[in-house]
Structure 1
Amino acid sequence: MSAATGTGAGRRRDARPAAASPVFDTLSATTWIDIAVLTGLSLLAVAGFEPAFGHYAFAQAAIGGIVVGGGVALLGRLLRISWPLTTVIALAAYFLFGTALALPGQALYGVLPSLDSLSGLVVGAVFGWSDAVTLQAPLEAPPYVAVVPYVAGWLVSLVSVTLAVRWLPRVRRPSAGRAAVLLAGPVLLLLSAILLGTRDPFFAGVRGVLFAGIALVWLAWRRARFARDRVETDSGVRRSRLLGGAAVVLGAVLVGALAGSVLAPPASSRFVVRDEITPPFDPLDYPSPLAGFRKYTKELQKTKLFTVTGLKQGQVIRLATMDSYDGVVWSVASPGSDSDASGAFELLGSTIPRPPLFTAGASSTATIDVLGYSDVWLPTLGYTNTLTFDSHTGQDPASTVRVNTATGTAAVTSGVRNGLDYTVGATAQKIPNDRALAKVPPAKLTLPSVTNVPDVVSAKAEEYAGSADTAIQKLRNIERSLKSLGYLSHGRASDPVPSRAGQGADRMTDLLSKSPMVGDQEQYASAFALMARRLGYPTRVVMGFAPKVSGGTTTVTGDDVTAWDEVAFEGVGWVPFFPTPTKTDAPKNQTTKPKLEPQPQVRQPPPADPRADDLLTPVKTKDNDPKDKASTFRLPVWAWVVLGVVGIPLLAYFVPLLLIAALKRRRRRRRETAGPPDRRAAGAWDELTDGYAELGLDVPDRATRLQAAAALEEQSAAQDLPVPDGGLRDLARHVDAAVFDGSVVDEERVQHAWTSADDALGRATKAAGPLRSRLAAFRYRRARRA
């Protein structure tokens, strides 16, 4: 029974099913601490995006990316999912949660992804980085720019946590250096937030010191863990070491934070990518807007360019602003110019900041519907605050719009075409009266230079400005003189007098030299700007349209084109000037015909027979031109052959020889005269070894002077080269004593070293033979010693 019972019991035990393995894997406490540290460092790093995005609008996307990436990596390890499948799940989670976290405005029902949000997650991850360094901070539009902190946090957290839960626990020989690999992701995230930011950091000193302190404490703790795994240590010793290290790091954090706040470098010395990257729009790739002025007045005079709804009486439409002149045309400055210049364009954001030099006036909103206008420059009003496009028209160029906040102009790189409909919200510049401006000096701005200006501009600037005391009076005098002395003509057939197009130096000379002055806005605005810049006033030329407002909707044609000037006043802004006259009845130039006096009639001889000229034989006469008397000296052919055969080899031989000889003289002069006496004594040995090396001997590179002397003596004996009395070793000992014995080295010891070196090298060169000495003359070596 007992046997049967035992056998049955054994069978029952064998029949018992094996225990199932747990679904979830477990992680050690050390790994959980690693995850917490990496997550905390990543949160500290993404806080640096605040200056670029502002108002903590990035926080939801950045923190959400860290949670999504780290959570997928952690769940993949706990569920024992392979890392390739975990990567696929992470990508799915990126698109599933990215809409609600980074692009909530494009989500369905606030959380579900849409086609627009999915494409935005892809575009933002690829192109959002380049747009983030060209957009005006804070980054609010286009919407896909918000994907940048989301994808950065997602990727860094995914990789860092994956390494913490899969790679680091399985390292055979763990060390603090291997643990430091996990810090690469948070460090890169910290650097990216700095580079994409602005010159105004977000608690840079505190965040940097805190980041370094946490990383150091974690590495020290990790090192202690590795040491304990190898050799068991008393718990009290470990605790004291950890507390001591934490106290030191905490003190360093506090001191560093305080010192960083007080001794922080100025914001101007901070390196950010947005200050170094040239915006993708280059105005110089397009023709100067002012150069096409006559196209509007002639070809597009009656063409309906666009309609404006909401335009007020007397309000002008701004098209382009130019402040660079090269003697040919006024043009928009290059993108690399100053931020106040006309070429500093940036991507369009949801809000457009006000210009740096501006006094706000009346605000207005207008809707513009493009008809026959086609160009890269976008018609706007005043200084644009907001710019929205009607997506129902099929054109939404928001991603290709570039704005210049300093000039109030905008451009569309994809082109402004028929059917484009957009709304402009703008604020006008407040213009004080001349009495108030009399107390205001011109602004001190750095604008692109004007070059190739004709001399007549300077003369007329002084003449027209007169003896006024203030800048506004001088500018008004110039404006008044041009309007009163000039006449308006667009050069059309219907104009009373002709007018040549252009704004170059020759056209300015023609305008200001001839009487009367005849031209249109292109010439008068150019002349006024050149004269104002000649007087030292920051001036720019603006091209736009000045239509007559009648009713709610105004149709703008090519005949409404105009140009004016703006001068910057300190603390006020850019004050407009309109120097173009309105008179068109310019007097025509009348040429008086000379009075004809009747002459007495004289009987003419009969015409000669032209055939008689053929009977005359032409006779060649000697040319008396003195230039031909002087015969040109020419070398015979054989002389050229001799020069080529003999001269070229001589040049090929002597030119390198002279050049190398000059280098050797320079080398010797510097060794013999430059530096203290001990160095000059050592230079004698260097000169000796270089000479032996140029003779073909092998000088050891890594050897003492005594070792090198022994090697040279051995080679000299083998090649039948003489060695001075006492050998080269006496010279080596003499130089070593001068360098290392610490005594005062006088000039006699220096000269002894050089004399001995020259004597030894001279004997060796003489004994080497003519061929070997000639080859040595073409070699150049320079010993270099630490």
Structure 2
Amino acid sequence: MTAATATMRPRDRARGLQTVSRTTWVDLAVLTVLSGLSIAGFEPAFGPYNYLLAAIGGLVVGTAAALVCFLFRITIVPSIAIALGAYVLFGTAFAMPAQAIGGVIPSLTSLAGTFQGAVFGWADIVTLQTPVEAPPYIAVVPYFATWLVALISVSVAVRWLPRKKRTALRSSVLVIPALVLYFAGIIIGTREPYFAGIRGVAFAVIALVWLGWRRKQSGAVSITVDGSARQRKIIGVAIVVIGAVVIGGGGGYLLSPKPDSRFVLRQEITPPFDPLEYPSPLAGFRNFTKKEAKTDLFTVRGLQEGQKLRMATLDSYDGLVWSVASPSTQTSDSGGFELLGRDIPAPPLAKPGGTSTVKVTVDGYADVWLPTAEYPTTLDFDRYTGVDPTTTVRINPTTGTAAVTSGVKKGLVYSVGVTSPTVPNDRALAKVPTARLTLPPVTKVPDVVSAKATEYAGTAKTTIQQLRNIERSLTTVGFLSHGLASDPVPSRAGEGSDRITELFTKEPMVGDEEQYASAFALMARSLGYPVRVVMGFAPKVSTGTNEVVVTGKDVTAWDEVAFEGVGWVPFYPTPTKTDAPQEQTTKPKIEPQPQVRQPPTSNQQQDEVLTPVKISDKNPDDKKAGFQVPVWAYIVGGIILIPLLLFFVPFLIIGGLKRRRRRRRLTGGSADRRAAGSWDELQDRYSELGVGIPAKTTRIQAAALIDQSVAAEGLVAPEGGFVPLAGRVDVAVFSGEDVQDETIASLWAQADAATAASLASAGRLRRMIAAFRYRRAARAATRRERTRRQKARTAAIAKL
């Protein structure tokens, strides 16, 4: 009969029910608190409160399933089946209410999601941008984690733990699931932890205090309880807790790497979407103007006058094409593509203005790039065929570019919540510098670009005026041609270095949005300004028009330059003139154009027209000159060194105090005091083993109590017990005769032999705990004896 069965009431036995003891309820309460501290670690990944319903729901379902199966005496295998049934039944309401029927009743989608999230959600969560909101089954991750932890912890607490004697070692097994959940929150989190210090210290303190209380309940013998013993016990627990907090917190502060070096699993995994795996959208510009000029690509509802459809934002140039930055070249200012939920984070620079909703129906368009409007704030797929686009869409919230890896096909209907940025006028931008951004590099830029940038910018003093001069110069000098047969002058497609060189050197200057937007961006980059190229569609929207059909001839491209505190300001460098002359011998005058400073004719001309490229002053070999600790060394050091410090530092301090205590008793004072010190040392050693010895007792009384405790604990005791040894110490102290050194050595040898035998039979864990205890159980008795001896000596001297 188990301990739990023995405590059952007869009426419960008749009903076949089991009861949970008060001690077990305390265990469950502590485990719930520890699990709650671990759950808080999911906040950086899911965002504030977005995961709490699922996490708490899993904790409740797992705990309830384990308790119910225990109370009704259900065996392990049926209990697992019942727990899985509860997991599936309540998983929809807690983790996927949006996919449920009526918010509660499971549907086929939600039932599949409860299993899909448990298996694939862990891989998805470390590849998605935080806060994670998609795919729909992602909330199953905290639900499944807490359900599993609660099920295992509670089952162990009510089934396995009461079967044998409750010890601190057996109780510590219950902490393992909550500890695993704690580390899971760290692994899937971000470089910004959620109250890491407070949560870690609270977790450690609660676990240590609970394990200490558990050890007391496990049978540590306490003969009598008085105020001083209880006070010493409380002080001891407080010292252990404070020591753990101080050493752990101080060690963590000193050994923890910089936040930039914090190991985060999601930072080590490259997102699966690489834009370079697909053709650059700008490279297919002429395909829209020639082959699909009259093709109905989209039907758009809700597009306002002046709004454009943004197809892709391109900020990387390799001498051939402008492209979307790949994971290998993207920067924090260019952003990256992530799988997001319905809500899309606002871009870091844009100042939000008016909001609207645009609904797009795909007709003749087929590509991976998903057109949006301005900066998207929400994205809903209303209708689709084939693969669910919510699982394959990747969005760059920094640039507003979206891509569907499974393809944007005919029949797709989606709605985009749009915010239009607020763009100040040029007068307001006159004193505003460009933003300090690090964008992907531009390479293989023709030399003529830098010379033309200096020429077109003129002597303008402000940044906005220089950029407007470049924009105005291109629209004034150039002519628009899409390379159609009806155009007066042929225009070659492309935006490579040779095409840009041809644009600037051949007369007349002829091109389309592809060439002019590329040329403007390269010139602005040569002057050191952060610029990017945007490709999209600009259909004509009349006031009061609710629906517009977008065709290939509506394709366009423009540029955006980032200004500090303002955002991305658009520029439209493409001319509108199409009547380019066949031959042009004179260059049109640029109006208004300030006086242009001609490039010098010295040998430095070649260097001045070269595109300035930012080159780091640091020598790559310099990194090898100084020793740099890698991140993995911090991780390994933290995992190994901190526990070693927590173990050995208190061990060495307490061991030093014990050696000092023994040395003082063995060598300090008179002979009778050294003889009494042997018994004091014995009492302290047994008190450290967990034997409670009241301070106000004689040696004979204390020896009898130690005999009882040792017998109850099953420890080895000296032959004849401790009473004879206590009597010999009393004779040496109170006989009034001189105590010989041989007698003192004999008393110490007997005391050491007795404690050594008991320690050897106490067990490894108990010896380890005793090594971290420091007791002075006989301190009060020693003071009393010292006072008594002093009075006796004073009386003897008075008689003489």
| TM superposition score normalised by structure 2 | 0.67
- 1:130 is paired with a residue of what secondary structure? helix
1:243 corresponds to which residue? 234
Q: What code does the residue aligned with 1:77 have? A: F
How far apart are residue 283 of structure 1 and its match? 1.0
Could you tell me how far 1:195 is from its partner in structure 2? 3.0
Contact 1:387 1:422 (C-alpha < 8 Å) held by counterparts: yes
Per-residue CA deviation, residues 510-552 of structure 1 (Å, 9 max, x unaligned), is 1111111111111111111111101100111100011112432
The residue that corresponds to 1:638 in the other structure is: none
The structure having more radius of gyration, on CA atoms, is 1
> Structure 2 matches for 1:741-780, cutoff 5 A?
none
User: Could you tell me which residue of structure 1 aligns to residue 572 of structure 2?
Assistant: 578
Aligned to 2:555: 561
Q: Any idea what SS the aligned residue of 2:357 has?
A: strand
Q: Deviations over 1:630-678 (max 9, x none)?
A: xxxxxxxxxxxxxxxxxxxxxxxxxxxxxxxxxxxxxxxxxxxxxxxxx
The SS at the match of 1:439 is coil
SS of match in other structure, 1:434: coil
Query: Who is 2:137 aligned against?
Result: 144
Structure 2 partner of 1:486 = 478
Q: Of the two structures, which has the highest relative contact order with CA contacts closer than 8 Å and spacing of 6 or more?
A: 2
Q: Which residue of 1 aligns with 2:786?
A: none
Aligned counterparts, 1:374-453, within 5 A = 374-391=366-383, 396-453=388-445
Taking a change above 3 Å as real, the CA distance of residues 243 and 348 of structure 1, as seen in their structure-2 partners, is: same
Residue 89 of structure 2 is matched in structure 1 by: 96
Whole-angstrom distance in 1 between the partners of 2:131 and 2:229: 48
Among residues 423, 438, 451, which one is paired with 1:459 in the alignment? 451
From 40, 43, 62, the counterpart of 1:47: 40
Aligned mates of 1:29, 1:297 — CA distance in 2: 79
Match of 1:287 in 2: 279
Q: Residue 130 of structure 1 aligns to which amino acid in structure 2?
A: A
Alignment check: 8 A CA contact 1:346 1:404 kept: yes
Contact 1:306 1:369 in 2 (8 A): yes
Alignment partners' CA distance in 1, 2:96 and 2:229: 49
One-letter amino acid matched to 2:276: L
SS state of the match for residue 334, structure 1? coil
Aligned partner (choices 123, 127, 130) of residue 130 of structure 1: 123
Counterpart of 1:66 (choices 56, 59, 63) is 59
Matched, 1:24 2:17: yes
Match of 2:354 among 355, 358, 362: 362
SS in structure 1 at match of 2:580? coil
- Is 1:348–2:340 an aligned residue pair? yes
| Structure 1 residues 495 and 205: CA distance shift in structure 2, 3 A | same
Q: Which stretch of structure 1 is more off in the superposition, 499-508 or 342-351?
A: 342-351
SS of corresponding position for 1:436: coil
Aligned to 1:209: 201
CA-based RMSD of the aligned residues comes to 3.0
Between stretches 158-167 and 495-504, larger displacement belongs to: 158-167
Does the CA contact (< 8 Å) of 1:338 and 1:446 recur in 2? no
Residues 727-759 of structure 1: per-residue CA shift (max 9 Å, x gap): xxxxxxxxxxxxxxxxxxxxxxxxxxxxxxxxx
Q: Distance in 2 between matches of 1:391 and 1:501?
A: 36
1:121 CA displacement: 1.1
Answer whether contact 2:508 2:584 (CA < 8 A) is retained: no
Cα distance in 2 for partners of 1:260, 1:367 equals 56
Structural mapping, 1:533-552, within 5 Å: 533-550=525-542, 551-552=545-546
The separation in 1 between residues aligned to 2:158 and 2:138, in whole angstroms, is: 31
**Equivalent residues of 2:132, 2:340 under 8 A apart:** no
Give the secondary structure class of the aligned counterpart of 2:311: strand
CA offsets, 1:301-335, max 9 Å, x none?
Answer: 11111111122222211100110111111111012
Counterpart Cα distance in 2 of 1:242 and 1:191: 32
| 2:548 match: secondary structure | strand
Residue type of the alignment partner of 2:82: I
The verdict on how the C-alpha distance between 1:363 and 1:468 changes in structure 2, with shifts beyond 3 A counting, is same
In structure 1, list runs of 5 or more residues that go unmatched: 1-17, 592-786
Q: Which residue of 2 aligns with 1:334?
A: 326
Give distance in 2, aligned partners of 1:20 and 1:580. Answer: 89
Contact 1:336 1:343 in 2 (8 A): no
After superposition, give the CA deviation of every residue in 1:154-211 in whole Å (9 maximum; x if it has no partner).
0111112222233334468x75344333222111111222333344443332221110
2:564 counterpart letter in structure 1: E
Letter in 2 for 1:295: N
Shift, 1:572, TM fit = 0.4
2:335–2:397: 8 Å Cα contact kept in structure 1?
Answer: no
Q: 1:283 to 1:294 in 2, by over 3 A?
A: same
Structure 1 residue 529 corresponds to structure 2 residue 510: no
> 1:592-603, aligned counterparts within 5 Å?
none
Aligned counterparts of 2:472 and 2:205: Cα–Cα separation in 1? 69
Q: CA deviation at 1:398?
A: 2.0
Distance 2:467 2:251 in 1: 50
Q: Comparing 529-538 with 349-358, which one deviates more in the overlay?
A: 349-358
Deviation at 1:112, TM superposition (A): 2.6
Report the residue type matching 1:532 in the other structure: A
- Name the structure 2 match of 1:316: 308
User: Offset at 1:68?
Assistant: 1.4
Asked whether the 8 Å contact 1:282–1:343 carries over to 2, the reply is no
Which residue of the partner structure matches residue 148 of structure 2?
155
Give, in angstroms, the shift of residue 428 of structure 1: 1.4
For 1:518, which of 506, 510, 513 is the aligned residue? 510
CA contact (8 A) 2:333 2:437 kept: no
Letter in 1 for 2:390: A
Structure 2 counterpart SS, 1:556: strand
Q: Does 1:472 align with 2:460?
A: no
* Residue of structure 1 equivalent to 2:158: 165
Query: Is the alpha carbon distance of 1:478 and 1:503 closer, same or farther for their aligned partners in structure 2, counting shifts above 3 Å?
Result: same
What letter matches 2:146 in structure 1?
A: G
Which letter maps to 1:94? Y
Kept after mapping to 1: 8 A contact 2:517/2:574: yes
Give the letter aligned to residue 99 of structure 1: T
Distance, in Å, in 1 between the alignment partners of 2:316 and 2:207 is 52
Contact 1:70 1:158 in 2 (8 A): yes
**Would the aligned equivalents of 2:55 and 2:142 in 1 still touch at CA under 8 Å?**
yes
2:493 is aligned with 1:498: no
Preserved contact between residue 221 and residue 242 of structure 1 (Cα < 8 Å): no
**Contact 2:387 2:406 (8 Å CA) reproduced:** no
Q: Mapping of 1:215-230 within 5 angstroms?
A: 215-226=207-218, 228=220
Equivalent position SS for 1:452: coil
Which deviates further from its counterpart, 274-283 or 537-546? Answer: 274-283
TM-score (ref. length: structure 1): 0.68
Asked if the contact 1:332/1:342 (under 8 Å) is kept, the reply is no
1:635 corresponds to: none
SS in 2 for 1:435: coil
Deviates more, 1:387-396 or 1:281-290: 387-396
* Residues 335 and 233 of structure 1: CA distance in aligned 2, closer, same or farther (over 3 Å): farther
Q: Which amino acid aligns with 2:323?
A: S
Matches of 2:275 and 2:198, distance apart in 1:
42
Q: Are residue 278 (structure 1) and residue 278 (structure 2) matched?
A: no
